[in-house]
Amino acid sequence: MKNFEIVRSIDALKLISPKDLRAWTERAIAPMPQAEVWMPPILVMLVPESVAEVVGTGHTEVIRHSRFPSELPSYYEVWLVGQTGIADYVPALHAIMNDFHGNSAGREQEMLA
């Protein structure tokens, strides 16, 4: 699976495994044709609360970068903070896919106009 990376802090709790994150991500994009092409770049950060506070993220959330075309490719970050699990990741992944495909459809409409 391209466009997907996981970074785990050394002191992050091991409540969710990178293998599970990959499996859920693959499951979420499987029904989509040409999934590799249609999946946005996603960076998943597994960190304890102390690390999240240092960077200004106090809880599990999705952070969107580079929303408009720029020199750098657009990507999403998902921060899984503290005692999070798959139940916290799945809604974030769905939100990313909805946002990404909604923005892609909007760009296609603009190009057709």
The DSSP secondary structure of 27-93, one letter per residue, reads: HHHTTSTTHHHHPPPEEEEEE-HHHHHHTT--SSEEEEE--S--SSPPEEEEEEESS--HHHHHHHH
**What pLDDT, on a 0 to 100 scale, did the predictor assign at position 113?**
38
SS3 14: coil
**What pLDDT, on a 0 to 100 scale, did the predictor assign at position 57?**
80
Q: How do the pLDDT tens digits run along the chain, 113 residues long?
A: 678 898 888 888 888 888 888 888 888 776 655 544 567 888 998 988 888 888 888 777 777 665 556 555 678 888 888 888 888 888 888 888 888 877 655 444 443 33
**What pLDDT, on a 0 to 100 scale, did the predictor assign at position 18?**
83
**What pLDDT, on a 0 to 100 scale, did the predictor assign at position 107?**
46
In angstroms, the CA 93 to CA 81 distance is 15
Q: For the chain, which residues make up each domain, given as ranges?
A: 4-104
In angstroms, the CA 26 to CA 3 distance is 11
Angle at 91 between CA 88 and CA 94, to 5 degrees: 145
**What pLDDT, on a 0 to 100 scale, did the predictor assign at position 70?**
59
